[in-house]
Amino acid sequence: MSIHPIDFRYGSQEMKDVFEENQKLDYLLKVEVALVEALADFGKIPREAANGIKSKATSEFVKLERIKEIEKETRHDIMALVKAITEVTGEAGKYVHLTATSYDIVDTALALQLRDGLDILIEKGKELLNHCLDFAEKHKELVMIGRTHGQHAIPITLGFKFANYSHNIAQSLERLEEDKKYAVGRFAGAVGNYSAQQLYDLGEDLEKKVMEKLGIESVKISTQVVGRENLARIICDIAIFAGSIEQIAKEIRNLQRTEIGELSEPFGKKQVGSSTMAQKKNPVNTENICSNVKIIRSCVYPALENIALEHERDITNSAAERTIIPTTFILMDEVLRRMNRLMTKGLVVFPENMKKNLELTKGTIMSESVITALVKKGMGRQKAHEILRTCSHKALAENIHLKQVLLQNEIVSKHFDSKELDQVMDYQNYIGLSVEKTEKIIKDYKLII
């Protein structure tokens, strides 16, 4: 029976497969096989023994159920794995795990897992970047109000908003690509000083050979474990990426508010918003994204706590990592899946509401434009600001357009007639470099997809 929502509700099968028990076993077995092959390459064990172990050290022969049975006795998961491999490999089994300590196997297998998980996130992140860039291109000239502190500020374009999101996504993708260098293995023995390896006159050479076979790098130095700073960096960067997507989701949710109505999630023909309020069209996908990002963010704290292990290591990281690693990756996969699906189905845009909202504050959003124009006419900036402050407040208080108030002002009317004010207060003339910056972002980041 499934209990955790990750089992039945969140995450793609592709990502779940990376963290599924049998797949984790496959990663561990690959490392044990790479070890005996490397030992054979150096002539330290017979080649036939290494081949025999390789042929049997697969999930076809080494069963997860058997490992769990042994673990009940040993109360040690990796020793249970070693015994299970030994059982099916006959005489060759005496070479299984030779020179290794548990976390030579565990951390190296984890590196393979992290690499594969990051590849999936990067692929889906690039898909989202492409959707956001396309959306930015389509709406690069669609003027809407920009907001700061929840208040109307000055005009921007919808494309410019999504160009900003695209930039943040692209930066996170660059970080995740870099983070693959932190998915490193180790083969340095009980406290990281290669004592067992040196008994065979191999030292770091065995470690290098094992990593070469697995296609990953080894950490430069370690204790009994790879420093948990590496894992913390990966989880932190995933959480930052999640936060950037949460920002998009939160913006869609806010702009879908009835009183704003500028954007909306697509809504299916048979979709239900409420069991009682039949009119409701709730932003369920973006709310789900914001909710799951909270859990991803909560995984950062234990990842940071796990850095400071005692002496050459203790086991206080282990139980936490069993939870936070798959949770972070699978929920991030879900966040990306939902946002990609939302963008693919078509984010709904309401230009008429954007225009209505631009007019909502009676032209006062163009105060900065008028201030700048007055300064260009020779007025001091602070004087111009005070005039626009008082005129704007009057326009809002009396529910009349700012232009009307300005034309009644003796000082302003000396500088501008009605036609000139129309030009200065035209929203289309005050979007700055919104279009140009959007086009530059599109050009820059289309290259990395």
State the pLDDT at residue 314: 92
Q: Which helix (H) or strand (E) holds 135?
A: helix 102-138
The pLDDT tens digits for 135-163 are 999 999 999 999 999 999 999 999 999 99
Cβ pair 262, 144 in contact under 8 A: yes
Question: Would you call 318 a catalytic residue per the annotation?
Answer: no
Average pLDDT over residues 121-145: 97
Question: Would you call 12 a catalytic residue per the annotation?
Answer: no
Helix 21-41 to helix 77-88 angle (10° resolution) is 70
Please give the C-alpha separations between residue 370 and each of 229, 258, 422, in angstroms, as whole numbers. 52, 31, 10
Rounded to whole angstroms, the Cα distance separating 129 from 126 reads 5
Q: Please, what sign has the CA dihedral across residues 120, 126, 129, 131?
A: negative
State the pLDDT at residue 272: 73
Rama region for 278: left / alpha / beta (φ>0; ψ in -120 to 50; rest): alpha
Rounded to whole angstroms, the Cα distance separating 366 from 395 reads 12
Residue 262 has pLDDT above 70, yes or no: yes
DSSP characters over 21-66: HHHHHHHHHHHHHHHHHHHHHTTSS-HHHHHHHHHH-STTTS-HHH
Rounded to whole angstroms, the Cα distance separating 415 from 430 reads 19
The pLDDT tens digits for 396-436 are 999 999 999 999 999 999 899 999 999 999 999 999 999 99
Rounded to the nearest angstrom, the gap between the alpha carbon of residue 49 and the centroid of all alpha carbons in its chain is 44
274 or 305, which is more confident: 305
Residue whose pair of structure tokens reads 């111009």 in the numeric block: 384
Catalytic position from the list 274, 291, 298, 413: 274
Catalytic position from the list 2, 149, 275, 311: 149
DSSP characters over 147-169: EETTEEEEEEEHHHHHHHHHHHH
Domains assigned to the chain: 5-138+156-266+276-354 (1.20.200.10), 364-424 (1.10.40.30)
Report the predicted TM-score, pTM, of the whole model to 2 decimal places: 0.94
Is residue 247 very low, low, confident or very high in pLDDT (cuts 50, 70, 90)? very high
Rounded to whole angstroms, the Cα distance separating 39 from 100 reads 11
Rounded to whole angstroms, the Cα distance separating 449 from 432 reads 28
Instruction: Using CB atoms within 10 Å of the CB of residue 189, give its burial: 0 to 12 exposed, 13 to 18 middle, 19+ buried.
Output: buried
State the pLDDT at residue 267: 79
